[in-house]
Amino acid sequence: MRTDRTHIDPSGHWRVILVAIVVVLAGCPGGTSNTADDVGSDVPESPSEPAPSSTAVDSTPITRTSAEISSGTDTAVRPLTEGILNESFVVGTGSNRVRYTITSIDRADRVGGEFGIDADAQFVVVGVTVTNLGDNITRVTGDAFTVVAGDGERYPTDGQAMNADEDALLVRDLGPNATVRRILIFDVPPTRESLRLSVTAPQS
């Protein structure tokens, strides 16, 4: 009598077990670590810094400018030295607020070109930029400027020299936010030292 026996391939049995183990391991959480190249990972990233809100307080220290320091005064005095160039300051209050910037400081024996005028002593020529910060028209004149020497001697703008140079600031009406660039001319002995520019606020 022949007995039928089913042949079982041992390698196929182990193949089924191995597949089952792989399936179980694949479903376990935390089995692998996430790298920077993972895409679509469900692992939350480290919390980032919150975006600043519109009401956040700026903690940056406030640096007061020369304009803020001089603001609200009827007169400002600035030293005529290289260090003052392109530094702005404000004179006046309310609708009479005017910003001044000294752009150049020179000395000359003559101004106005070939048909100009010679200095009695020596001309100090100061370049200025003037901006009206008020809401109304402001009249700026050369009379608002004076050079003061270290010994206290005062020198107003030289009328003849100012009339001889077309770039001089004589009389100028400035509308709100208007700016003008001109020069101021003073006749000052070269022996005078520690010169300063005194600026008076325009009259309303």
Q: Is the overall model pTM greater than 0.75, yes or no?
A: no
Greater pLDDT, 176 or 17: 176
Sorted by where each begins, the domain ranges of the chain are 66-200
The two structure tokens encoding residue 110: 């003559």
CA distances from 116 to 21, 108, 160, 165, 182 (A): 105, 12, 9, 7, 17
CATH code linked to domain 66-200: 2.60.40.1240
What confidence tens digit (pLDDT) does each residue in 23-74 have? Answer: 444 454 444 444 344 433 343 444 444 443 333 333 333 333 444 444 457 8
Report the Cα 65 to chain-centroid distance in Å: 10
